[in-house]
Each structure stands twice: as C-alpha cells, then as structure tokens.
Amino acid sequence: MPRSVNASKRSVPSDAAAVAPPSGDRGGLTALATFCALHARTLLAAHALLAVLLGVLGAGAFTTLSSGGYTASGTEAARAETVLARQLGAGSADMTVHARTEAGVDSAAARAAGRHLSAWAADSKGVRQAVSYWDTGQEQLRSVDGRAALLRLDLEGDEFAAMRTAERLTPGLAREAGVLEVEFTGPAVVNSEASRQSQRDLLRAELIVLPLTFTILVLAFGSLVAALLPTVTAAGAVAGAFAVLRLVNEFTPMSVFALNIAAALGFGLAVDYALFVVTRFRDELAGGHTVTDAVVRSMRTAGRTALYSALTVAAVLAVVLVFPVPFLRSLAIAGITVVLLGAAVTVTALPALLALTGHRVNRWDPLSRWRSGAGRTSDSATWRAIAQVTTGRPVLSLCLSIVVLVLMAVPFAHARFGIVDARVLPADTPARVTAQHIDEAFSVDSDRTLAVALPGTNAWAGREQLDAYAARLSQLSGVGAVQAATGVYRHGKRVETAPAGVPGAVAPQGTWLAVSTTAPPQSDAAHEVLHRVRQLPAPGPRLVGGRPAQTADTLAVMSERLPSAALLAAMATLTVLLAFTRALLVPVKAVVVAALSLTASLGALVWIFQEGHGRGLVGDFTVTGHLETTMPLLMFTLAFGASVDYELFLMARIKEEYLATGDHIQAIITGIARTGRLVTAAALVVAVAMTALASSGITMLKVLGVGLAIAVLVDATIVRGVLVPAAMRLTGAANWWMPRLSRRPPRTHTPGAPAVTGPATERST
C-alpha cells in the first residue's frame, strides 16, 4: 500500500511516534489515552475476557442477595429486639401463618392439625420459637369469627437469614397443614416476595430500557456505530457491578434491590459519560485532527470531566454510609460501584474502541434521508436561541426559573416519612393479601404492639412492682391493653390473669410486656405513645421495641445524622468541583442550584406518592400517606450527582470558549448551544433508564425511578437552559475568579485565538 495514504484515516496507529501526545500535554489521562490507543486490540481483548468472567460471576447475584434491612441498627428498638430474642426467648414474629377452616379453629380436626403444624414448625431448622393459638389459647391469635388462627414464627439470624428460612419453610408448612388452609405473611415473607418481584422488574425493564436507550443514542448521534459505543460501555459497567456486589455480599449483607439500582445507574450515568466522550471525539475528527489526536484530546477534556463527575457522585453517595440503615447502605454501595466502574470503562475501554473505530464512528445513519446537515453537528440552533434570550434578560429569566422551582417544592413542606411494610408490594401479592386479611379479621394488630423488655426484673420476686408497672402502662393515653406475666391490664386495672404462653411469660433472665396501642404504627400518635412509655419509670433496666419503636427510632436517627451528612456531601462536592474548575464561585453556585432543583423534585414526589395525585401516569401503587424514609435521601443523592454531572460538562464547554475568546456572554451562549442537545439526550437516557425502576411493582423503587426521572429532566431544561446561564450572565467574569496561591504569573490567552488546551487541562493561578 502506498505510504501516501492519509494517516488520519488509519484506525489504529502503527508505531509509538504516531501516538505522541498532541499539544505537548503529558498529563495522566493523556498518557492513559495514548497507551489505550497504542494497545487497542490487546486491551479490548482483555476487557472482553474480564467481562465474560464478571458476567458469569454476576449472573448468580440474585440467588445470594436478599431483601431487608429497612430499620436502623444500634437504636434502642434494635437492642430491645436482640434482648427479647436472645435472652427472653420472645423475638418478634418474622413469619406469620394465617390458618383458616370453615369448620372453625376450635373443632377437633382443626385443633389436631394446628397443634401438629405448630410442633412441626417449632422443630424446624432456623426457627427460634413458634407460638400459635392452639398451644397458648391467646384470643389475640384467634379471628373474631373463629374461623382463622395465627401461628407466629420467630426465626434465627438477621433479616436476610430469616428471609431464606421463610422461603425454605413455606412448602413444608403448606404440606403439613392438614385440614387448614394456610397463607403466609410477615417481614421475612414480604422481603422474599419483594426480592422475587425485583427480579421480574429488572428483567422486564431491561427489555424496555436497552432498545429505548439505543434509539435515543441513534437519534442523538445519527450513527449506529456511535450509538453502540456508549451501550457497550454501560453493559460492561453493569456486568462488573453485579459481580462486585456478589463479592461484597460475602462480607456484608447486600439488598437484592442493589442490582436494580446498579442496572438503572449503569444505563444512565455510564451511558452519559460515554455519550459526552464520543461526541467530543466526533467534534475533534470534524476539526481535522487525526484519530489518535482526537482520542487523546477527547479524553483530556470530556474524559476528564466524566472522571470528575464520577468522583463527585461517588463522594456524595459515600456520605450515605453514615446512616445506620443496612438497606440504604447497600444501595449506596451499589451506586458507588457502578459509577466508578462506569468511569473506569470510559477512560480505558472507550479510548481503545474509539481508536479502532476511527472515522467509521459516523457511519450507518438510518435516518440520514430525513436528517439535515445541521442535525449532525453538536451546535443546536434552538438552544442557542434560548441562551440568547436568557442572557439578554438575565434577571427576568433567573426570577422565573426560581419561581417555577419553588412552586414545585411547596408540597415538600408537608412531607411525612415512614418505613417499609407489606403495602410496598403490589395489591395482589400473596403476602400483601394475607396481611390485609389479618388486619380485617383479628382484633389485635402486631404492628401496633410495643414490646417492653425488662431483662433485669424477675417476674415472681418482683411481682408487686411488675403488677404496678403494668397497671400504670395501661393508663397511658393511646394504650389499649398491657399483657404481662402477672395478667392482662386495661385502664389501670388487671382484668384477667395471664393464661399459659401469654406474652410476658417468665424467662430466667427477666420478663417482658406487650403494650397494644390504638394508633397506626407509623403515625405521630404512635410516636407519642412510644415517648410516654419510655418516659414512665420502670422497675428495672428497660428497653422498648416493636414495630412502632423501630419506625420512630429509624426516623430519629436519620434526622439526627442528616445535617452532618448534608454538610459532608456539600464539602465533598465543593472539593471535587474546585479541583475541576479551579474557580471559587462555580462550585458554590452548583451546590446551591442543585439543592434548589432537587427540592423541587422532592416536592413532586410528595404530590404524587404521598398525596396520591397522578397515579395513572406512573402506575398503580398504594397511597400510604408517607414516603419511605430512605428513598428521598437516596434520590436526592443520586440526582445531586447527575445534576453536578451536567454542570461539569456545561461549565467545561463555557470555560473553554471563554479562554479562547475572552467574551463572557458569547462563551455562555456558545457553551449552551454546543451542549444543549447533548445534555438533553443525556437526560433522556437517564430518564429512560429510570423506567427500569419507575415501572417496578415495588412502590419504593417506583418512587426512586420517578423522582430521578423528574430531577434530571428539570435539571436539563429549567436549570441548565435558563437558571444557570442567567446566573452566570449576572456574575460575569467573577465565575472564574480564584485566589492566587502562587507567584507564578497567570497564563494569558489572545481573544479569538484557538484554545490550545481545554478547561480540563488549563490551570488557573
């Protein structure tokens, strides 16, 4: 082949000289991009082999991960549960068997079957205690109509182990029920069904997300080849994340929902990172650069921005680890894992793919017949016009955008929070249906019962003190009845003696009482009853647990740690953005704007899910009157990262134009014009990826998906299109001010001269 062949057309450089870093830049990303371009085939072969290995390892993640961990650890309620289970033999029911017969549970056949079922359950592996109506005669375990009774099982281990035990026991309990018709519910069963539902949701959603994401990329790029590159990058990140999460589960329990989060973020943020890099690569090729130069220049600009964006998201998600809620921590770990893997694949595999693809990145546009020439460029006439109007009337634009965001945020002032219960499942789920049957047919609701553990009190030696204490408890406002080893109490009086096996039975290490409340378990009234119970002097050391206590303690510890977490998140974001922009005002503005826009998104969540508006638009769910406490926090964290993601790419382009021309206003307009279509496409990709969560039958995943979709769409339109350019127009050149930290004179740029280095490599003094 003649040596006159244009070198810029070569897909892969043939020698080291061909991959010399352009522009004299010898930075770390330049060196890495050069290495990837020089060893493209070898590197991609290694990536492919690693992807296969990780895919095999990650394929079994659903069989090892489980559900649970929704309440805070280390609280008084958590300690009470430990004492009740380990010292007093009275742990809360992890699994409830609802047994029914039309002949009545007191018939001879029902009694024989019930006792057999109770004995079989008590002897089963993993069962700490089994309590049924037929063994104890407790009226609270018998339905009002006498045709149903309950068998409650306290299972060994944590929530994750209990879920696995419940899955193993269910077939045997159904087989041993005899004349009884049995149904199952309880936290362990709810967690199990939620886990299976998440698997179905993930499979169904990915069948939708993958083709839609690819379609958006084809529309954005005008090339099947270019659209394929971000898709492959995201797939590699997701496969790696599944494998890593399975390994992490060996050391700390991980929620199965972490896989849903990893998949959604992988096809959201990881696609975005590659989208920006590929776009910059095409621009560099269009500017006349060789393939290798285009790869290196793209990585040291858009690639560096993607790296800083991933670090920002990971840093903010790491702050979530300060909350002692296992479920929340596992989702944060999933987010950190997939975001960092997405960045890693973007700066290693993607440069190699671009080097091999070369000019073929623009090929195979299925819409070329209908696409105008302008549609193939990154410059958007529509976004340029919007930027001109916004910068021309900055005060009006700023005020209008703030008013819209504030109006969206208003419902958040009425936000209420709770924790997961059976209502998180679809209405036709067996565990959900059984829980509803129990609520309707039984007089006592275990979710409204407080368990008061007295580990240092001997029920018989201190009988008088225990009797007096139980009587005082029953007099508290909001308390319906108190059951203790000494009897049953109502309104300050003992109304009956304790039957055999009644809650509060004596244990060698102490005793405990069951306090039935009249308030809904996640209401303010229930929290007030809990406060009164804890304030009442006890005859000895006392711990209060039960569902109402778990809810109140979880909300309390979340509220207590929220200010410090918010401060840490702000500091982490400011630090990363300061290192990226080397300007003081831009990071501060980014944090303030992100907080404002995300509060607006949280307001939309309250309006939809807490108040029940627009259910037809997002799919059916049960309106509980509150938001699950971990979801708004996780949504805020993830959306904050996505918001900063778009901010970084926009600021990078605006600063590049400013350094090249010295014209602040024109730099804003050009930056918006050249990133507007791209940011819109990126936001659509994230929004589509969130349908993997929004289409879920699990309400809390639906909340997260809808919230993130709203957040990124608001951020990509109102915030990036109007609010940010208006604010930058008003603050002027102060956007790029940074205190001088050295005596080295500043580098100057001639207005109108081409920028030799983009903002990713330019260092402010």
**Bridge partners for 451 per DSSP:** 514, 545
Query: For residue 753, what pLDDT is reported?
Result: 41
**Residues with Cβ within 8 Å of residue 401, at least 6 apart in sequence:** 718, 719, 722, 723, 726
Residue 44, pLDDT > 80, answer yes
Query: For residue 98, what pLDDT is reported?
Result: 92
Residue with tokens 């560099």: 284
Query: For residue 182, what pLDDT is reported?
Result: 92
Average model confidence (pLDDT) for the chain? 81
> Given pLDDT bands bounded at 50, 70 and 90, which one contains residue 508?
low
Is there a contact between 626 and 725 (Cβ–Cβ < 8 Å)? no
Query: For residue 626, what pLDDT is reported?
Result: 82
Of residues 8 and 713, the one with the higher pLDDT is: 713
> Given pLDDT bands bounded at 50, 70 and 90, which one contains residue 45?
very high
Residue 12, pLDDT > 60, answer no
Query: For residue 354, what pLDDT is reported?
Result: 93
Give rounded-to-5 percent helix, strand, coil for the chain: 65, 10, 25
Residue 6, pLDDT > 50, answer no
Of residues 634 and 116, the one with the higher pLDDT is: 116
Query: What mean pLDDT is predicted for residues 80-107?
Result: 84
Is there a contact between 100 and 147 (Cβ–Cβ < 8 Å)? yes
**Residues with Cβ within 8 Å of residue 391, at least 6 apart in sequence:** 665, 668, 669, 725, 726, 729
Q: How far apart are CA 228 and CA 587, in angstroms?
A: 33
Residue 746, pLDDT > 70, answer no
What is the layout of strands, in order, in the sheet containing 127-132? 127-132, 148-155, 95-100, 181-185
Query: What mean pLDDT is predicted for residues 572-594?
Result: 83
Q: How far apart are CA 353 and CA 350, in angstroms?
A: 5
Query: For residue 371, what pLDDT is reported?
Result: 52
Query: For residue 17, what pLDDT is reported?
Result: 33
Query: What mean pLDDT is predicted for residues 699-722?
Result: 85
> Given pLDDT bands bounded at 50, 70 and 90, which one contains residue 498?
low
Is there a contact between 687 and 393 (Cβ–Cβ < 8 Å)? no
Per-residue pLDDT tens for 317-372? 898 888 988 888 888 898 899 999 999 999 999 999 999 998 888 887 666 555 55
Query: For residue 369, what pLDDT is reported?
Result: 57
> Given pLDDT bands bounded at 50, 70 and 90, which one contains residue 743?
very low
Two tokens, residue 556: 């309390």
CA 682 to chain centre: 19
Q: Could you give the angle at the alpha carbon of 550 between the alpha carbons of 547 and 556, nearest 5°?
A: 140
Query: For residue 184, what pLDDT is reported?
Result: 92
Of 155-164, 379-388, 468-477, the least confident:
155-164
| Half-sphere exposure at residue 143, Cβ-oriented, CA atoms within 13 angstroms | 20
Query: For residue 377, what pLDDT is reported?
Result: 53
Of residues 579 and 97, the one with the higher pLDDT is: 97
Query: Smallest Cα–Cα separation from 332: which of 612, 569, 507?
Result: 569
Query: What mean pLDDT is predicted for residues 238-261?
Result: 85
Query: For residue 763, what pLDDT is reported?
Result: 34
Two tokens, residue 199: 């698997």
Query: Smallest Cα–Cα separation from 321: which of 569, 67, 602, 577?
Result: 569
Per-residue pLDDT tens for 121-176? 999 998 888 888 898 877 778 888 889 999 989 888 777 788 889 989 999 999 99
Of 29-33, 95-99, 259-263, the least confident:
259-263
Query: For residue 116, what pLDDT is reported?
Result: 92
Is there a contact between 488 and 553 (Cβ–Cβ < 8 Å)? no
From the CB of residue 465, how many other CB atoms can be counted at a distance below 10 Å?
A: 16
Of residues 618 and 22, the one with the higher pLDDT is: 618
Residue with tokens 């069948």: 207
Query: For residue 370, what pLDDT is reported?
Result: 56
Of 93-107, 526-540, 571-585, the least confident:
571-585
Query: What mean pLDDT is predicted for residues 288-301?
Result: 90
Cα distances from 72 to residues 250, 318, 329, 334, 421, in angstroms, run 21, 17, 11, 19, 15
**Residues with Cβ within 8 Å of residue 722, at least 6 apart in sequence:** 386, 390, 397, 398, 400, 401
Residue 18, pLDDT > 50, answer no
Of residues 686 and 176, the one with the higher pLDDT is: 176
Domains of the chain: 31-63+192-372+392-420+553-736 (no CATH), 94-185 (3.30.70), 456-540 (no CATH)
Query: What mean pLDDT is predicted for residues 400-423?
Result: 86
Of residues 196 and 515, the one with the higher pLDDT is: 515
Residue 628, pLDDT > 50, answer yes
**Residues with Cβ within 8 Å of residue 571, at least 6 apart in sequence:** none
Query: For residue 761, what pLDDT is reported?
Result: 36
The pTM is what?
Answer: 0.79
The three-state DSSP-derived secondary structure of 146-173 is CCEEEEEEEECCCHHHHHHHHHHHHHHH
Residue percentage of the chain with pLDDT more than 90: 16
Instruction: Tell how strand 417-418 and strand 627-628 pair up.
Output: parallel
